[in-house]
């Protein structure tokens, strides 16, 4: 019998290798024609849509990227319109500050309710809360749970508390600069105290030196030194100067301890200088008090310069 040809032969031909379902050989077609290329519509990334329409996709355009896209779009939009870029919280702080400076809010006043104040200032309640939190940290506002938010007394001593917190982050190479500022301010405060400090305050300073003794530890001496100068400056009757010097004294504390541990007769010299300052104050001699205060601070500064 002759083999079948034509259509009958193709129908009778086995489809693929034996044992495969359907009998089709996957390699057969690949040799004859390549697989079709994927359409561009199948490889294009989907757009991330926002309320204002599609955004270009890319890094950060997925979950959470849309929010960043809105922020950047708003930032670029403000720049293109020529407006200064300011964080919403900073704007809220500036508006509350303007109310206090203008006298609309006075020391001790209670702020309006959050919803009312936010509407009055044109702010969101979240940005208003952040501004109140920031102003309470620097003692401008006082948040009382269950009672409301109040403007503080705005006393210099209260406001300058933030200074002592900030200067604690000083670098060691700036200690000399703090000592230089102290050498400018403290002798002037000591001279002013010579005519204003009371006898009771002078007696308290004298008792403090007596209790310290002739051979105190370095730590006790430095702590007493801080209290001694704080008492003198408070006797000058200037609360701003007192708070300012109190805030600036922190960075020099470690240098004074180091000096007491390493310099010969540093403890005895400090005690003698304290006694000389106190004697000048009792004599009401402003210039002598100024001179001894200058010598006292300059000796620490000179020693620190020689060791660095």
What local confidence, expressed as pLDDT, does residue 73 receive?
A: 45
Q: Is residue 257 domain-resident?
A: yes
Looking at the structure, do residues 195 and 277 belong to the same domain, yes or no?
A: yes
pLDDT tens-digit map of 102-156: 999 999 999 999 999 999 999 899 999 999 999 998 889 999 988 899 999 998 8
Reply yes or no on whether the pLDDT at 45 is more than 60. no
Looking at the structure, do residues 176 and 297 belong to the same domain, yes or no?
A: yes
Q: Is residue 113 domain-resident?
A: yes
pLDDT top residue among 3 and 272: 272
Looking at the structure, do residues 169 and 149 belong to the same domain, yes or no?
A: no
Reply yes or no on whether the pLDDT at 70 is more than 70. no
Q: Is residue 20 domain-resident?
A: no
Q: Is residue 270 domain-resident?
A: yes
Q: How far apart are CA 271 and CA 274, in angstroms?
A: 5
Looking at the structure, do residues 166 and 146 belong to the same domain, yes or no?
A: no
| Cβ neighbours of residue 231 closer than 8 Å, sequence gap 6 or more | 201, 204, 205, 208
Residue at which a domain ends, from 109, 133, 153: 153
State the total domains in the chain.
2
Range of the domain at 211: 162-307
Radius of gyration of the chain measured on its C-alpha atoms = 39
**Cα 144–Cα 147–Cα 150 angle in degrees, nearest 5:** 60
φ/ψ of residue 169, rounded to 5: -90, 15
Q: Is residue 64 domain-resident?
A: no
Based on the number of CB atoms within 10 Å of its own CB, is 259 exposed (0-12), middle (13-18) or buried (19 or more)? buried
CB atoms within 10 A of CB 145: 5
Looking at the structure, do residues 206 and 98 belong to the same domain, yes or no?
A: no
Closest CA to 252 of 186, 157, 155: 186
Looking at the structure, do residues 237 and 298 belong to the same domain, yes or no?
A: yes
Q: Is residue 14 domain-resident?
A: no
Q: Is residue 23 domain-resident?
A: no
Q: Is residue 147 domain-resident?
A: yes
Reply yes or no on whether the pLDDT at 197 is more than 50. yes
pLDDT tens-digit map of 89-99: 889 999 999 99
Reply yes or no on whether the pLDDT at 164 is more than 80. no
Residue at which a domain ends, from 153, 170, 192: 153
Helix (H) / strand (E) containing 299: helix 286-307
pLDDT tens-digit map of 184-196: 999 999 999 999 9
Which residues does residue 50 pair with via DSSP β-bridges, in sequence order? 53
Half-sphere exposure of 161 (CA within 13 A, CB side): 11
| Helix, coil or strand: residue 139 | coil
- Do residues 260 and 266 lie in contact, with contact meaning Cβ atoms separated by under 8 Å? yes
Q: How far apart are CA 288 and CA 293, in angstroms?
A: 9
Looking at the structure, do residues 187 and 149 belong to the same domain, yes or no?
A: no
Read off the pLDDT of each residue in 282-296 and give the average, rounded to a whole number: 95
Assign residue 187 the CATH number of its domain.
1.20.120.530
What local confidence, expressed as pLDDT, does residue 71 receive?
A: 44
The full length of the chain comes to 308
pLDDT above 70 as % of the chain: 70
Looking at the structure, do residues 207 and 141 belong to the same domain, yes or no?
A: no
pLDDT tens-digit map of 133-146: 999 988 899 999 88
The mean-pLDDT minimum among 1-15, 85-99, 186-200 falls in 1-15
Looking at the structure, do residues 268 and 212 belong to the same domain, yes or no?
A: yes
Looking at the structure, do residues 93 and 195 belong to the same domain, yes or no?
A: no
Assign residue 105 the CATH number of its domain.
1.10.10.10
Looking at the structure, do residues 302 and 193 belong to the same domain, yes or no?
A: yes
Exposure string (b/e) for 27-48, b if CB count within 10 Å is 16 or more?
eeeeeeeeeeeeeeeeeeeeeb
Which pTM was predicted? 0.61
Residue at which a domain ends, from 123, 153, 183: 153
Q: Where are the alpha helices (DSSP H) in 235-265?
A: 239-248, 250-262
Looking at the structure, do residues 171 and 265 belong to the same domain, yes or no?
A: yes
Reply yes or no on whether the pLDDT at 293 is more than 70. yes
And the tokens for 79?
């720049």
**Cα 293–Cα 298–Cα 304 angle in degrees, nearest 5:** 145
């Amino acid at each position: 019998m002759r083999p079948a040809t034509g259509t009958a032969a193709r129908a009778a031909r086995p489809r693929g290798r034996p044992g495969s379902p359907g009998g089709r050989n996957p390699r057969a077609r690949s040799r004859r024609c390549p697989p079709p290329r994927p359409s561009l519509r199948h490889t294009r990334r989907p757009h991330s849509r926002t309320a204002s329409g599609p955004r270009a996709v890319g890094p950060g355009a997925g979950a959470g990227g849309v929010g960043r896209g809105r922020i950047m779009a708003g930032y670029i939009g403000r720049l293109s319109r020529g407006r200064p870029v300011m964080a919403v919280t900073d704007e809220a702080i500036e508006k509350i500050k303007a109310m206090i400076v203008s006298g609309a809010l006075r020391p001790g006043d209670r702020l309006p309710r959050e919803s009312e104040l936010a509407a009055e200032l044109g702010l969101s309640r979240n940005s208003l809360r952040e501004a109140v939190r920031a102003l309470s940290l620097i003692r401008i506002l006082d948040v009382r749970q269950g009672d409301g938010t109040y403007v503080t007394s705005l006393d210099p001593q209260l406001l300058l508390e933030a200074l002592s917190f900030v200067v604690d982050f000083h670098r060691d190479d700036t200690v000399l600069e703090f000592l230089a500022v102290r050498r400018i301010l403290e002798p002037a405060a000591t001279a002013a105290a010579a005519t204003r400090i009371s006898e009771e305050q002078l007696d308290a300073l004298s008792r403090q030196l007596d209790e310290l003794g002739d051979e105190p530890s370095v730590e006790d001496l430095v702590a007493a030194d801080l209290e001694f100068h704080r008492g003198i400056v408070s006797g000058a009757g200037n609360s701003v100067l007192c708070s300012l010097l109190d805030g600036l004294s922190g960075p020099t504390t470690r240098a004074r301890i180091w000096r007491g541990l390493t310099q010969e007769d540093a403890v005895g010299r400090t005690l003698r200088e304290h006694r000389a300052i106190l004697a000048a104050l009792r004599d009401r001699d402003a210039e002598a008090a100024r001179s001894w205060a200058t010598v006292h601070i300059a000796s620490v500064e000179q020693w620190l310069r020689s060791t660095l």
